[in-house]
Structure 1
Amino acid sequence: MKNISHVYETPPAGANTDWTVPQNWDRFSADEHAMWDTLFARQTAMLPGRAADAFLRGIDVLKLSRPGIPDYRELNAQLMAATGWQIVAVPGLVPDAVFFDHLANRRFPAGNFIRTPEQSDYLQEPDVFHDIFGHVPMSADPVFADYMVAYGKGGLRSLGFCALDHLARLYWYTVEFGLIKQPNGMRIYGAGIVSSYAESIFALEDPRPNRIAFDLLRVMRTHYRIDDFQQNYFVISSIDELLTVTVETDFAPLYARLDILPDIAASEVLANDVLIA
């Protein structure tokens, strides 16, 4: 799979109109299952003391009856019982409207492929390890699960405001690369961090990145990097804060403000930023 792109303009052969495909768990090879097991063991060994409490609690839904890539029939039974969410397989990245609709209806679309050993430390396209290991544990938390639904519904509304770039930044800096300040210290909860061995260490322990208190407008003005570690991470005080801000904010006037305010560079620190140690 090394040189295969999983980006499509239209649903590929075998995909439904909502871009879902059968998982076909039995078609994964022994090497692909072994790749999952290697990544899973590596991450679960290093995340205690680094990952958010909610993430560590949610890991239990991934401890299924057999090793290897999770079988969604078994995984979804546990996830549905926890928060009403389910995982659907997709061939790769899906269009924004399709993605938002899945989230709004408590479905998380997961790429139906896994990285090769050569890609174990970095993969630009989200694979099944990123999507399942990175996202499912937090989706087992009821408050975070509701945040994801609110984001999906907000995403569908945003299509009428031409605001996708700004809304994507909110997802990037929370769902993918978010930090949380717990009473027991700074922790990671974003899927892009917890599924990456190197960035799990960098985000918490390296002195170079800025760790900035979460502010919705600030986040939605800020560019991000897709080809390297982040220079700025945004820190929430609780998952409840994230849900409350998302649900209680009227995004229409916020989008109007974002249209006239300048964007902020991915590494820039503003005078009024609150930096968190």
Structure 2
Amino acid sequence: MSGLNSNPVAYSAEEDLLWGTMMSKLNAMHPRIAGSRYLQAKDRLPLPLTHAPRIDDLGQRLNNSTGFRLLPVDGLIPIGDFYGRFADDIFSTAMYLRCPSRPHYSPEPDMLHELVGHVVMLSDPLFADLYRLFGEATNNATSEQDLHAISQVFWFTMETGLVQEDGRAKAYGAALLSSSGELAKLGTCPVEKFSIQAMIESDFDISAYQGKLFAAQSVDEMASEVRSFLTRV
């Protein structure tokens, strides 16, 4: 683990090529499939198109935007630590890139997932505040049942959430926005009405494309429901 906003990894030409290839593909898909809040966030916190970003530069720009900082980490960390750090304005980001043989989807959170999905959206003040609330709720949780409920809701909102815009469901969740494979399959995945209770009771598999998604009528509806849940959990 390294200090906040530092960049402990030097990326190879092959990794830069993979980053550029996937950024090109995602940037071609986002205008049609991503929600408007995400598209505005991309303009606010643009990512390089041809090479993997420097975390120190990106972290400073994010910090200037909403106060969040980036903490590079090696490998997976306990989910309670990952969520809990949000309360201190810290987002822990993986530094490795997904396998080139499977570029359209990563079962583990790689740098493309972290930066394209989560970090871009963290430049939006509304979403930054929601992440903080997830962190506070995690730190205040008194049972495994509460932690499970928080994790479920985070998955079906911040990771795989959809919102109705322009007559169709559009993505704001990080796991969708960072995966060209997930975005390509959105039209065939069952979409249910936004429901916190249904999210808590639903199963999901991070190693495969999603089998169920939830769509809110608006970002405001989603934010209001999530805030209400996190303050009472």
Query: Fold match, TM over 0.5?
Result: yes
CA distance in 2, matches of 1:200, 1:129: 15
CA distance in 1, matches of 2:30, 2:99: 22
One-letter identity of the residue aligned with 1:86: R
CA RMSD of aligned residues (A): 2.1
1:191 to 150, 166, 174: 174
Instruction: Please list, as runs of the form range in 1=range in 2, the aligned pairs for 1:166-205 lying within 5 A after superposition.
Output: 166-183=149-166, 185-203=168-186, 205=187
1:179–1:188 Cα contact (<8 Å) kept: yes
Q: How many pairs were matched up?
A: 230
CA distance in 2, matches of 1:201, 1:210: 14
CA distance in 1, matches of 2:175, 2:153: 14
Q: Which segments of 5 or more consecutive residues in structure 2 lack a partner in the other structure?
A: none
Q: Using the TM superposition, give the Cα deviation of residue 114 of structure 1 relative to its aligned residue in structure 2, in angstroms.
A: 0.7
**Structure that is richer in helix per residue:** 2
1:162 to 120, 133, 144: 144
Tell me what 1:251 maps to: 232
Q: Which has the higher contact order (CA 8 A, sep 6+)?
A: 2
Structure 1 runs (4+) deviating above 6 angstroms are none
2:84–2:139 Cα contact (<8 Å) kept: yes
Tell me what 1:4 maps to: none
Normalised TM-score (structure 1) = 0.76
1:81 to 44, 56, 64: 64
Q: Which segments of 5 or more consecutive residues in structure 1 lack a partner in the other structure?
A: 1-14, 253-277
Deviates more, 1:175-184 or 1:144-153: 175-184
CA radius of gyration, larger in = 1
Deviations 1:196-229 (A, max 9, x none): 11210211x22xx321111111111111122322
CA distance in 1, matches of 2:111, 2:158: 16
Give the secondary structure class of the aligned counterpart of 2:77. Answer: coil
- Asked if 1:225 corresponds to 2:196, the answer is no
CA distance in 1, matches of 2:80, 2:16: 31
1:36–1:69 Cα contact (<8 Å) kept: yes
CA distance in 1, matches of 2:118, 2:5: 19
CA distance in 2, matches of 1:236, 1:103: 23
Deviations 1:45-83 (A, max 9, x none): 11111101111112231335x841111221122212221
Give the secondary structure class of the aligned counterpart of 1:180. Answer: strand
CA distance in 1, matches of 2:5, 2:164: 38
Q: Using the TM superposition, give the Cα deviation of residue 104 of structure 1 relative to its aligned residue in structure 2, in angstroms.
A: 1.1
- Asked if 1:32 corresponds to 2:15, the answer is yes
Instruction: Please list, as runs of the form range in 1=range in 2, the aligned pairs for 1:72-151 lying within 5 A after superposition.
Output: 72-151=55-134
Tell me what 1:263 maps to: none
Normalised TM-score (structure 2) = 0.90
Q: Using the TM superposition, give the Cα deviation of residue 247 of structure 1 relative to its aligned residue in structure 2, in angstroms.
A: 2.6
Give the secondary structure class of the aligned counterpart of 2:71. Answer: strand
CA distance in 2, matches of 1:67, 1:112: 17
